[in-house]
Amino acid sequence: MRFGFSLTTPTDANAFDVLREEARRAVDDGFTSAWMSNIFGLDALTALAVLGSQVPGIELGTAVVPTYPRHPAALAQQALTTNLAIGGRLALGIGLSHKVVIERMYGHSYDRPVRHLDEYLSVLLPLINGEKAAFEGETLSARIGLTTPRATPRAGRPPVLLAALGPRMLKLAGTRADGTVLWMTGPATVRDHIVPTIRAAAEAAGRPAPRVVCVLPVSVTQDSEAARARAAEMFAVYNGLPSYRAMLDREGAANPGEVAIVGDEDSVTEQIGALAKAGVTDFVAGEFAAGDEAVRTRALLTKLATDGIPG
């Protein structure tokens, strides 16, 4: 299992100084990837293009870019440009976002989200693969190529990962994409729902085993109860988003704090090891500790990233 790091989303004018320092430290500490969200702060692909040109030696991923606000051809062009800028180290994570965001904020319809994403891939994937897209669907259409006569330069094909949680989305990810990016999804749900569903879909489609990128809050602490309470407060917004609430319910978790990975060094190692055994290919640490606990957390993650899970 590879270890990744969840980048912060700085909002000050020195944002790139912060990101550059985080990424360089992640490389020094042995992490193989760094992942950036795309919500209301910096545009993730633009930020990673800048960051990756300054920090070599690490995969850079989006977790994730919402599909509705961008036509798939525009996203393909931007992703290929970013991938070229960073020497072919991009992992393109995309997702639907949420109804409250897409309808109330952007003003798009959120009807038939799975069909939307399926049709989105029918345009995005050919363009990512260096082919022309010719598709007429119910939610979008395109007749465009990025290859000739004025080609978009490319540095290989970036993997495309879907934020897939429900059965239909996981089947779509296994059948057509390169894997999934998870958030707020506990170990039992990963073991019993996520991995079996996406693997079965990939196998039935004759595709390679998919990547399962699992992002979770993590803190090494002697006071697990206090750490879970802090996580529950910090990530309370996810209680009200249906897709994440469904995953918490599957896990039997009352709030996000109950799926956070917390405990002393042995306990956190065991919990991360359980994710590896469940089929997670990339564990991405969302550190949320402070003070001495932050130091302990990073020390353990560095050890695990460098030496691997014991046993």
- pLDDT of res. 160: 98
Chain mean pLDDT for the chain? 96
Q: How far apart are CA 217 and CA 204, in angstroms?
A: 33
Listed range (34-43, 116-125, 145-154, 215-224) with the worst mean pLDDT: 145-154
SS (H, E, C) the chain: CEEEEECCCCCCCCHHHHHHHHHHHHHHCCCCEEEECCCCCCCHHHHHHHHHHHCCCCEEEECCEECCCCCHHHHHHHHHHHHHHCCCCEEEEEECCCHHHHHHHCCCCCCCHHHHHHHHHHHHHHHHCCCCEEEECCCCEEEECCCCCCCCCCCCCCCEEECCCCHHHHHHHHHHCCEEEEECCCHHHHHHHHHHHHHHHHHHCCCCCCEEEEEEEEEECCCHHHHHHHHHHHCHHHHHCHHHHHHHHHHCCCCHHHCCEEECHHHHHHHHHHHHHHCCCEEEEEECCCHHHHHHHHHHHHHHHHHCCCC
pLDDT, tens digit, for every residue of 133-166?
999 999 999 999 987 657 788 898 999 999 999 9
pTM given for the model: 0.96
- pLDDT of res. 311: 77
Q: What angle do CA 68, 36, 218 make, to 5 degrees?
A: 120
User: Do residues 253 and 288 make contact, with C-beta atoms less than 8 angstroms apart?
Assistant: no
- pLDDT of res. 239: 94
Q: How far apart are CA 255 and CA 50, in angstroms?
A: 36
Query: Could you give all domains of the chain from N- to C-terminal order, each with its CATH number?
Result: 1-22+32-161 (3.20.20.30), 164-311 (3.20.20.30)
pLDDT, tens digit, for every residue of 238-266?
999 999 999 999 999 999 999 999 999 99
pLDDT, tens digit, for every residue of 190-223?
999 999 999 999 999 999 999 999 999 999 999 9
- pLDDT of res. 148: 63
- pLDDT of res. 147: 75
236: closest CA among 206, 260, 265, 212?
260
pLDDT, tens digit, for every residue of 262-306?
999 999 999 999 999 999 999 999 989 999 999 999 999 999 999
Q: How far apart are CA 16 and CA 179, in angstroms?
A: 29
